[in-house]
Amino acid sequence: MKTLEQNVAKVSSKGQVVIPVAIREQLGIERGTKLSFRAENGSIIVNPHSLSAELARIKSMRGITAGGPSMCDALIEDRRRERERELREEGW
């Protein structure tokens, strides 16, 4: 996922924080988007829950395995070897 420069926001007297616009746009956070929060190793992890946020998250992962081995090719090769073994066992 693309990382933006660090942004700083101030917590209001009501405990509210404004999420910077660049981050909202990157994650597809719009008015009414539900957010989940969890504390992890001294940090706050915030995850949006909306269709546009999920699509943005999925889009950000596009190409992360590019250049790596093809799982399809590996599966086909594995199945080919398995079939050859089966044929040998059947006497072909």
How does pLDDT run across 22-35, given as a tens digit for each residue? 888 888 888 988 89
Q: What's the whole-model pTM score?
A: 0.48
Q: Are 49 and 33 in contact (CB under 8 A)?
A: yes
Structure tokens at 40: 């992890």
Q: How many independent structural domains does the chain possess? A: 1
Residue 16 lies in a domain: no
- Asked whether residue 89 is assigned to any structural domain, the reply reads no
Please write down the HEC assignment for all residues of 18-78: CCCHHHHHHHCCCCCCEEEEEEECCEEEEEEECHHHHHHHHHHCCCCCCCCCCHHHHHHHH
Residue 26 covered by a domain? yes
- Asked if residue 35 belongs to a domain, the reply is yes
Q: Which range marks the domain in which residue 50 is found?
A: 21-66
- The residues that bridge with 49 in the sheet, in sequence order, are 34
In the predicted structure, residue 1 carries a pLDDT above the cut 70: no
Q: Which tens digits make up the pLDDT trace of 45-92?
A: 988 887 777 787 788 888 887 887 888 888 999 999 999 999 999 988
Residue 12 lies in a domain: no
